[in-house]
Amino acid sequence: MLGVGPMSHVFHRHARHDYPVAVAGDGVYLIDREGRRYLDASGGAAVSCLGHSDRAVSDAIAGQLAKLPYAHTSFFSNEPMEALATRLIATAPAALDKVYFTSGGAEAMEAALKWRLKPTRLNRAPIFDFAPIVVDFPKR
């Protein structure tokens, strides 16, 4: 059977479409359970630029998960985040010296608007001017 069939309990975007079941990925390809390969032109966050099943990427992810899977940025910083911020600032315009990480474009724009409109306690003027640089990973 190529797809999930009519017995799927997943509410897909198109209810009458029989979706193939992806079981593996290889570079820019997805592979279904029949072994058919599909060029993945619809990859989501990270996959679209990193590809599927890259050993170096898998090893880096496993290494970081073994050390520290997550630390909320409202309470902690972490070494990978600090290293990435340093790399980004090294190539940013001179006036930009801080990086604010978000999970996507909508969150980044919301934060940018809040920061721009937030007044200082002394004179009610905006705290600072900035140009948000948004690198968005589309959520599908």
pLDDT at 77: 94
Hey, where are the domains in the chain? 1-69
Name residues whose C-beta falls within 8 Å of residue 30's C-beta, 6 or more positions apart in sequence. Answer: 22, 24, 37, 38, 40, 52
Average pLDDT over residues 41-48: 65
Q: What is the rounded distance in angstroms from the CA atom of residue 125 to the CA atom of residue 115?
A: 11
Higher pLDDT, 133 or 51: 51
pLDDT digits (tens, 9 = 90+) for 81-134: 999 999 999 999 988 898 988 887 888 889 888 887 776 555 565 555 555 555
Q: For the whole prediction, is pTM greater than 0.75?
A: no
